[in-house]
Structure 1
Amino acid sequence: METALTGAAFGAALTAAGVYQPAVIVSQLRLENWHMIQAFLTAAAGSAIVVTAANVLGYVRLPPRSFSSLNLFARFDGNVIGGILLGTGMTLSGACPGTVLAQVALGIESGYYALAGAVVGGIVWTGLVLQPNLLPTPSSSLSKPQTRLSMYEQLGVSRGTMLVAFEAICASVVAATIYLTPPSTAKGGVHPVIGGLLIAGAQLLSILMRKSLMGTSTSYEEFGDWFWGLFSRGKMIGLPQRYNNMVFCSSMVGGAWLLSRFAPSLVAEIAPLRIEPLAAGVGGCLMIIGSRLAGGCTSGHGISGISLLSTSSVLTIGVAFAWGAVVGLLMG
């Protein structure tokens, strides 16, 4: 029940924030509109305060995220390569592993293709990459204990100092983009800052009810596990035991739909943007493979990981947005 309620809250928050729309995502990556960044940074900053308070009070013990390493060229190579694939997939599909669920709930056509591609990505990842070991297994628990996983450890400052600096950076970027860019003319919805605070509120609910942070890309890996558990060379094999993440993401669809049904004034009108089915499907597949390679997506790394001040999360999301912008500008 806790998982379902938290998922519904997250889905509703993403919908109210308006960051689920393909036009908002693509225009952000093309550096044409800053709605997504305003909501994203507000959500990350709010979540950082919530997570820090929960850790300090002893309610939870949530350590920074480890690096994802393929041992190809650096201990963070999985974060870099995964971020590149994630950014490419986001630009092609106009979706993220979490926002695509809200797109489906609101009947956005490209979202169906992106979700289908994401499901295929989960199946490919679990059955054709991990099981045959085609790539060195990305690991967040390498043979040697990892130290200095957080930004404050990397910089040699206290956690409190890093938190204050992070909050100041987020506030400055949000304020600057609000001042320098024209406001949205879409009807309905909430201001992106309010939307970001709603997402941070869903994070608070997740900590209080589940003592864990939000994330979505693991659900696609879970689905892949179930797929290969049911069908392997035409024979039934043992079924996996985990399914909580799939429950979380299914509830996100429900939460987004309920908000659009019973509080339509909180949902902005959908901006028109035509995304070809093939691009949406390929993008959906790439963003899941990239997310799993990096050990998290725009919610797991972007909202939750960054709120832990994790260096790997900042690196993954930084690469994803930067590379996505390159792809977006080339496509535009």
Structure 2
Amino acid sequence: MTTISTPQIEETPEAKAVAGRRARPYVHPYAGGILLGLVLFATFFLTGNGLGASGGMNRLVVWLEDLLAPGHVDRTAYLTSMAGGEANPFDSWVVFVFIGLFIGGALSGWLFGRTKVETQGGPHTPVRVRWLFAFLGGSVMGYGARLARGCTSGQALSGGAVLSVGSWAFMFAVFAGAYALAYFVRKLWN
């Protein structure tokens, strides 16, 4: 009989010092999926809206842009509808969802001992390259979220839950694009 032993990973002093506590294990993926489904259902039931984050962030960015360059925002109907002129971004529920997601993620990371400032990547990839690709990838995803009229939480979770064909097409495109691109950026992790 052959037994397979898994190597024990020794915890470094840096890992032990993360937020002064030991990192607790992640929730089981199926349990996390069930919890996310319950949160989505409660959101639909209590507010009549689904989840979404990119719209809230977009409204806050336009609000800041309106403070710095109001003439630019007021000339664009798309931007004016979010935060220009008399529009207040805080009149939209999605802004509070975004703020809550940010606070909840930070609080969860702190409570479970996972708050640490670091840049992860492959041993042969400089930190600057990782940051460059993270910025480029985030910019493309942000633009894509605006173009698709929603992010993965708004389109995939909320739209998919109500069987929106556009949302399902969006998710298939996200996965197909990610798998197609993974081959070309895999060296960032090697």
- TM-score, normalised to structure 2, is 0.65
Equivalent in the alignment of 2:28: 191
Identity among equivalent positions (%) equals 24
Match of 1:95 in 2: none
- Report the alpha carbon displacement of residue 228 of structure 1 after superposing the two structures with TM: 3.5
Whole-Å separation in 2 of the counterparts to 1:238 and 1:310: 33
Instruction: Say whether the 8 Å CA contact 1:226–1:240 is kept in structure 2.
Output: no
The residue number in structure 1 matching 2:160 is 306
CA distance in 1, matches of 2:73, 2:154: 34
In the alignment, the residues of structure 2 paired with residue 197 and residue 235 of structure 1 have an alpha-carbon distance, to the nearest angstrom, of 41
In 2, distance between residues paired with 1:220 and 1:261? 22
* C-alpha distance 189-209 of structure 1, shift in aligned 2 (>3 A): same
**Equivalent in the alignment of 1:261:** 110
The question of 1:213 aligning with 2:50 is answered yes
Q: Which runs of 5+ in 1 are unaligned?
A: 1-105, 108-185
Deviations 1:244-274 (A, max 9, x none): 3222111112212333334x28x7x9xx832
Q: What is the identity, as a one-letter code, of the residue corresponding to 2:151?
A: C
Distance (Å, rounded) in 2 between the aligned partners of 1:209 and 1:197: 18
Contact 1:225-1:240 within 8 A present in 2 as well: no
Greater relative contact order (CA < 8 Å, ≥ 6 in sequence): 1
**Equivalent position amino acid for 2:70 in 1:** S
Determine whether 1:323 maps to 2:177.
yes
Report the counterpart of residue 112 of structure 1 in structure 2: none
Which letter maps to 1:331?
Answer: V
Structure 1 residue 218, shift from structure 2 partner? 0.7
Runs of 4+ in 1 over 4 A off after TM superposition: 233-237
Matches within 5 A, 1:1-332: 188-230=25-67, 231-233=69-71, 238-243=85-90, 244-262=93-111, 264=112, 273-274=120-121, 276-332=130-186
1 CA distance for matches of 2:156 and 2:47? Answer: 19
TM, length-normalised to structure 1: 0.39
Deviations 1:62-120 (A, max 9, x none): xxxxxxxxxxxxxxxxxxxxxxxxxxxxxxxxxxxxxxxxxxxx99xxxxxxxxxxxxx
Is the 1:215–1:296 contact (alpha carbons within 8 Å) kept by the matching residues of 2?
A: yes
* Paired position in structure 1 for 2:15: none
Q: Which runs of 5+ in 2 are unaligned?
A: 1-17, 75-83, 122-128
The answer (yes or no) to whether the contact 2:57–2:98 under 8 Å persists in 1 is no
Count of matched residue pairs: 147
Q: 1:279 and 1:239, CA in 2 relative to 1: closer, same or farther beyond 3 A?
A: farther
- Give deviations 1:189-240, integer Å, cap 9, x for gaps: 1111111111112112212321211111111321233133222359996252
Secondary structure of 1:276's partner? helix
